[in-house]
Structure 1
């Protein structure tokens, strides 16, 4: 194992020393948050009275207990940093295993579905309009498809008006609901994002030491497994949101599926938001398949400004892995709610986030490995796949 003192990377990547500094700062802040919760219980946003209590592992903890847990996590983190810095080249796998445990607690157990909900709401107002708008613009420019696109838009407009989603009062109701929802969240999501940020620091610690030591047999075997199952995982990740998307499209009919007792006629904004979220799921399907399609390597010609250019590897990897993490966290929350709290199995079937997240992670890592091995020929592919 390399020494935290001597290892340096001329390529600008994080060294063990730098990673340990970030982890130490993060652990200190975690401990201080624990002290804050004990000193000022009113700042504690979780517990039995939390609106997301049925999907949070902190539902049964009060401010005092949670404060002690946070202090313990911070102290263990600081001791781990000290052990890694002191051990240097004698660093043991046990210390890195403790660092890995910090990642599990802070990235998978402490956060919950709220982060995905907020992210999905933001995507609902950006992703479908952007993708559909660019495709419609491209179709209207082509004389061969102009008439069909215009007829399709007219049909969608009529369906939207009849279904009650393209009306002034619908947009007003949606605006009131979204505005009130964001006003009520308070500081809760900030704590969740902070936990993920500290977990990322620990990932940096582990990665920096593993890079210095070189890949072991476990890493090599994992890479081979990812390469073998990458395509299958991509299809699983792409099809996982289909049940949810189809259920939300039924909200345009008099027979809505999975409406959870909501009177959609009385709450037209909720109907519109559900349909937008269903469209986000369909967009995710299209984007996920790009991990194994040419459009994942070269932007399609209809994409504004970058059409025909190479897709930067990290432009797909960072959103893919981030989405996989949020989906996995939310999948754990839904399993907790659907199986152990409310006993409603349909929740984990119609929204299989527990499957979607891990599958997307494997698919993205396989794409990363494959693109990393590609050294030539990208320019030719941009011409050959221009029509995708």
Structure 2
């Protein structure tokens, strides 16, 4: 029994060991995901094109501008958009997106056509993930741990739908880009690059993981100090010194979340991030599914990036960090590098752990 344990330990410490494991049988979903991703992006775009038409004709529920009273306070880039002009822009983007998604079912000989299609897909993905959402996504995520959902309204739901559309368009762009360079559309591997990604990711992934861990700590540490009643780096200490027990607990939870996230981030380069440790009871010794780490880390990375971007924009628009208020604004400025490094660390973890492709057989 000890020999088996030692053998498995060596296999997980070696990033190349994942490559020689037999690939699992591919599911219908994975075999056809290049097609369904295109159809899903087309349907999503058409749906929002129809919504744009409804809003232009005076329909209720336009989620930006005058119908979003919290937009300015939460740093929304679309806080000044009107329903008529915004709805018209959504109609155009939705219809163009539908046409582009269907057009990407073909591989064109013209490099210019391929470049235009890819440019639209990547731009749509970036706009939907980075520009549309604001700090309310991160805010609702944090308050959900305290079962507080009063801030979850239609503008927030719309932002979640746009983030989903952004990931769809990102998947479409990635698939088409892989097809353009004659790589496997499911894994992105080519004949020239097979077998090298795991070794490379094991090297640079460790450093970006450490960066993600360090940049996650400032916000959490300052909030935990506030929860203890110490007004560190605040311009008006009254609120910290007079906070109730409930308020202290809320601040403590807000501080514990990024610190807990930093600890979990270490799992991207530790053995317990690949094999469940002993204290996991019936899961002990089993392989950690890749998606169990990649999916939440990717979503956290996306939330942190666009929230951090909003804070940097607010700073350039007139905010300032000084010796009196550094605890209020300073730690939030680490969110953008935190999100970027976490995304890179997650990608390295995925490259290091993925098996041989179920479709092309490349390692």
With the length of structure 2 as denominator, give the TM-score of the two structures.
0.76
Structure 1 position 52, deviation (Å)? 3.5
Residue 361 of structure 2: aligned partner: none
CA contact (8 A) 2:297 2:343 kept: yes
Q: 1:299 aligns with which of 265, 272, 276?
A: 276
CA contact (8 A) 2:118 2:177 kept: no
Compare relative contact order (CA 8 Å, sep 6+) and give the higher one, 1 or 2: 2
Query: Secondary structure of 2:280's partner?
Result: coil
Residue 139 of structure 2: aligned partner: 117
Query: Secondary structure of 1:85's partner?
Result: coil
Tell me whether 1:32 sits opposite 2:53 in the alignment: no
- Return the alpha-carbon distance in structure 1 between the equivalents of residues 231 and 329 of structure 2: 18
- Return the alpha-carbon distance in structure 2 between the equivalents of residues 216 and 266 of structure 1: 55
Residue 79 of structure 1: aligned partner: 99
Structure 1 position 211, deviation (Å)? 4.4
Change (3 A) 1:289 1:184: closer
Structure 1 residues without counterparts, runs of 5 or longer: 1-8, 126-174, 376-388
Change (3 A) 1:10 1:255: closer
Residue 337 of structure 2: aligned partner: 355
Change (3 A) 1:187 1:258: farther
The structure in which a higher percent of residues are helix is 1
Residue 20 of structure 1: aligned partner: 38
Q: CA RMSD in A?
A: 3.1
CA contact (8 A) 1:233 1:359 kept: yes
Change (3 A) 1:74 1:258: farther
Q: 1:183 aligns with which of 134, 150, 165?
A: 150
Q: 2:312 aligns with which of 330, 335, 340?
A: 335
- Return the alpha-carbon distance in structure 1 between the equivalents of residues 283 and 189 of structure 2: 39
Structure 1 position 65, deviation (Å)? 2.2
- Return the alpha-carbon distance in structure 2 between the equivalents of residues 245 and 230 of structure 1: 24
- Return the alpha-carbon distance in structure 1 between the equivalents of residues 356 and 108 of structure 2: 35
Query: Secondary structure of 1:22's partner?
Result: helix
Count of aligned residue pairs for this structure pair: 311
Tell me whether 1:245 sits opposite 2:229 in the alignment: no
Structure 1, residues 43-71: CA drift from partner, whole Å, max 9, x if none?
Answer: 12322663142411102212222212211
Tell me whether 1:45 sits opposite 2:56 in the alignment: no
- Return the alpha-carbon distance in structure 1 between the equivalents of residues 348 and 114 of structure 2: 29
- Return the alpha-carbon distance in structure 2 between the equivalents of residues 229 and 113 of structure 1: 30
Structure 1, residues 117-176: CA drift from partner, whole Å, max 9, x if none?
Answer: 111222x44xxxxxxxxxxxxxxxxxxxxxxxxxxxxxxxxxxxxxxxxxxxxxxxxx8x
